[in-house]
């Protein structure tokens, strides 16, 4: 997997993803686990969790870290069988997962 938009000086990169959350994960501390287990910084750019806990929700994230940290973070989410979809950058740069 290639992760574009690396900062050559610090070896930091970022990806934009949309994570779909089933009702099973609505009360789980997924994002704190992402940060503590993989040392990934994240920014929530959009969230749609709705008012109905039985329905799927979505969180748009920008993940920032080294390639190893980003891979760890994506694996962390993937191990929980969450649907992860890459999102293109609306600002015109090319990074996404």
* Domain boundaries defined on the chain: 13-86
Instruction: Quote the crossing angle between the two packed helices 67-78 and 30-38, to the nearest 10°.
Output: 140
Q: Which residues pair with 65 in a beta bridge?
A: 13
**Could you tell me the sign of the dihedral formed by the alpha carbons of 66, 21, 36, 38, in that order?**
negative
* pTM for this prediction: 0.73
**Which residues 6+ apart lie within 8 Å of 78 measured at CB?**
84
By C-alpha distance, which of 75, 18, 91, 78 is closest to 48? 18
Q: Which fold, 13-86?
A: Alpha-Beta Plaits (3.30.70)
Q: What is the pLDDT of residues 20-63, one digit of tens each?
A: 887 777 677 888 989 999 999 999 998 887 776 666 788 899 99
Residue 62 near residue 16, CB atoms below 8 Å: yes
């Amino acid at each position: 997997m290639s992760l574009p938009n690396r900062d050559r000086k610090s070896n930091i990169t970022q990806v934009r993803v949309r994570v779909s959350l089933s009702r099973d994960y609505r009360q789980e501390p997924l994002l704190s686990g992402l940060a503590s287990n993989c040392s990934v910084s994240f920014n929530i750019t959009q969230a749609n969790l709705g008012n109905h806990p039985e329905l799927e929700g979505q969180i748009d994230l920008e993940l920032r870290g080294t390639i190893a940290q980003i891979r760890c973070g994506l694996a962390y989410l993937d191990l929980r069988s969450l649907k992860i979809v890459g999102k293109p950058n609306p600002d015109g740069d090319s990074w996404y997962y």
